[in-house]
Amino acid sequence: MLEALLSRLGLPGYEPEAARQKIYGVIGDFDTPEDLLRAIRTARAAGYTRMEAYSPFPIHGVDEALGAPRSPLGKIVIVFALIGLSAAVLLQWWTGAVDYRLIIAGKPLFAFEPSVPIMFELAVLLSAFATVLGMFHLNRIPTYYHAFFNYSKHAGASNDRFLLAIEAGDPKFRADEVKLFLESCGSRHTEIVEA
C-alpha cells in the first residue's frame, strides 16, 4: 500500500517494485480456452492493456479479446505480389520488344496473353517469399531467449495449459495486485516472473 502511494507520488530516487526486481510480469495458468478468454476479457475490462496469451493451439477470438491490432502481413504480401507481377511484365516486354526482337510467324513482339503464366508464377513466388520472411520478422523468429521461459510451468503452453501474462510494462501493473486479480479470475497457478 505504501509502495503504491510512493510510486504514484513520483518521489525522486524512488524505484517502483518492477524496476528493482526486473519483473517481466505475472502469469496465470487456466484449465480451458474458455477460462482463458474469460480472464482476458475481465482483465481488459479492469483496464489492463499489456497482455499476452499462450496456448497449445489457436483460440478463436483471443486476438480480439487481447485488443491486438490486425497483422500487417497481408499488406506486405500484396506489395510483393504486385512487384513480382510488374517485374514479370517488364522482363517479358524488355526481352521480346526491346533487347531481342524476333518476328516469328507474324506474331507481335510483346503480347499480353502468353505472358500471363509467367506473371502469375512470379507474383506467387515473391508473395510466398514475403510471407515466410515477413512471418519470421513479425514473430521475431528466431528468439533464443524470452522472459516467459522463466515461468516454472512454461512447457505446459505447448502441451495442455492456457496461460495469460500481464506484463510489467502495463501502466496499471502492481505485481501483488495482478497476482490476486489473476487468482480471482480462476488461475490455477499464478506466478510473478522475473525478466
The CATH number given to whatever domain includes residue 178 is 3.30.70
**Residues 161 and 50: beta-carbon distance below 8 Å:** no
Q: Name the domain boundary from 119, 138, 157.
A: 138
pLDDT of residue 9: 53
162 occurs within a structural domain: yes
pLDDT of residue 155: 87
103 occurs within a structural domain: yes
Domain region containing 115: 79-138
Please count the structural domains in the chain: 2
4-55 pLDDT tens trace: 555 555 554 455 554 556 999 999 999 999 999 999 999 999 999 999 999 9
Q: Name the domain boundary from 90, 106, 138.
A: 138
72-117 pLDDT tens trace: 999 999 999 999 999 999 999 999 889 888 888 888 888 888 899 9
**Residues 18 and 173: beta-carbon distance below 8 Å:** yes
Radius of gyration of the chain (CA): 26
1 occurs within a structural domain: no
pLDDT of residue 18: 46
pLDDT of residue 118: 95
49 occurs within a structural domain: yes
pLDDT of residue 105: 82
Query: Closest Cα to residue 177, out of 48, 83, 85, 21?
Result: 48
Q: Are residues 132 and 175 in the same domain?
A: no
8 occurs within a structural domain: no
The residues, ordered by sequence, that sit 6+ positions from 18 with a Cβ below 8 Å of its Cβ are: 168, 173, 175
